[in-house]
Amino acid sequence: MSAVPPVEPGLLPFTTEIRPEGLAVGGVLLEQLARQHGTPLFVYDEEHLRRRCREAVAAFGPGNVAYASKAFLCTAMARLAAEEGLLLDVASGGELRTALYAGVEPDRIVLHGNNKDEAELRTAMTAGLHHIVVDSFDELERIERLHHVEGLPPARIRLRVAPGVAAGAHEAIRTGGHDSKFGFGLADGAAEAAVRRAEGSSAVRLEGVHAHVGSQVLDPAELADGAAAVARFAVASGVERLTVGGGLGVAYVSGQSAPSFEVWAERVHAAVRGAGWSGEVGVEPGRSIVARAGLTLYRVGTVKRIPDVRTYVSVDGGMSDNLRPALYDARYEAFLPRCPKASRPLRARLVGKHCESGDVIIDDAALPEDLRVGDLLATPVTGAYGYAMASNYNKLPKPAVVFVRDGRARLVVRRETEYDLLRLDVAGEGPARSAPELVGAHQGA
């Protein structure tokens, strides 16, 4: 059994520090957070979040960065991004409502989505968003109907183009190819036809074009290729604005590395200038803002050793708070906050508590040899698409979210309760115990 070194510091939040009592982030011990707020628990380093926002703005310029809120959104995150000078990119009516509830000005919000319904478009047009990224001719028709029939003001729009360049770590997150549900294709002439349609419509004000080639891209050359393709189209179309999306990847496991915002900006700017674009470039980072800033805390509940097969370590969360391993074969590291510098010779399959064999967080996790039931365990780099994709599978309540900074922790999303899980149920026929009684019985109250 060979020992694996401790988790690399480059996978941990910026303010991480090792104390005699264990690991602290934002000046707060992780064990203290777990005792106070329970587990599973999402912990975000607020200073890390703010620093990454500032780095993005420094690289691309004020007004050119929109935070892709699908990576992680709550009202506190929306306010933080706005305070640091970012626009907010939302992809549904729910995300739009959250941004507005957080107090983000409508003219600092961008609406995405490949199948926006009339309710979403009505809210966007009425509120006066920064712009809507139009994805299809059907969407243009819906906007025109809302303008002509309901009298809503014309919408400022950018057309999403599928440039024929697909990038990303998994097929499910490659979005810029010809075979994509997103955008107007360049190869089949749909993008050119969309420009003509928009220019002739009184319901929209065409400002520019947009493209996004994929996610978790670690080679900036792939992002540059996509940017060049859409820039050539933007120049030929005579539009004033160009957005090249997001997609910059992050390191999830030891040995990986990711380019900085500065390198991304240099490559993209060089690519679009080479394509004849002389204006500014908009980007929409999400994962690269929040992923490393967050980590997930669990409690170990079961250790099952099967001789000559493997060891299973079960924690109190799983695929309901981190779907990415099941969805994208995503890989993570794990460690014990009580001994973050310990070597990790134990190999085990780290699994959740769901009634599903595919509920695997790390297939072959490296862990300290003295791991035991009751230990606090952490998985780093879970700040993106962890809470955002969380579900109630097996009726598990979603975890709480805390922000830590300067020795203080603030709860930004409370933990769901079993009562919350019953709030939307409509009682059927026959006698039924009240929700509080059921919850109390389950919790031993």
Pairing of β 155-162 and β 184-185: parallel
Contacts of 168 (CB under 8 A, 6+ apart): 174, 175, 213, 214, 215, 216, 217, 247
Closest CA to 400 of 418, 383, 382, 412: 412
Active site residue 53: no
**AA identity, residue 207:** E
Supply the angle between the helices 75-83 and 46-60 in degrees, to the nearest 10: 40
**AA identity, residue 203:** A
> Cα(398)–Cα(386) distance, rounded to whole angstroms?
11
- Decide: 393 and 320 in contact? Cβ < 8 Å: yes
> For residue 81, with 0-12 CB atoms within 10 Å meaning exposed, 13-18 middle and 19 or more buried, which class applies?
buried
Q: In what order do the strands lie in the sheet with 28-29?
A: 17-19, 22-25, 28-29
> Cα(239)–Cα(160) distance, rounded to whole angstroms?
13
Closest CA to 151 of 129, 185, 126: 126
For 299, 306, 336, 352, 371, the CA distances from 303, given in Å and listed in that order, are: 11, 10, 15, 12, 9
> Cα(143)–Cα(266) distance, rounded to whole angstroms?
36
Pairing of β 400-405 and β 204-210: unpaired
> Cα(297)–Cα(39) distance, rounded to whole angstroms?
6
> Cα(260)–Cα(55) distance, rounded to whole angstroms?
9
- Decide: 211 and 245 in contact? Cβ < 8 Å: yes
Which residue reads 């679009």 in tokens?
272
For 183, 219, 250, 320, the CA distances from 256, given in Å and listed in that order, are: 31, 12, 8, 26
> Cα(125)–Cα(122) distance, rounded to whole angstroms?
5
Which residue reads 């700017």 in tokens?
269
Active site positions, annotated: 355
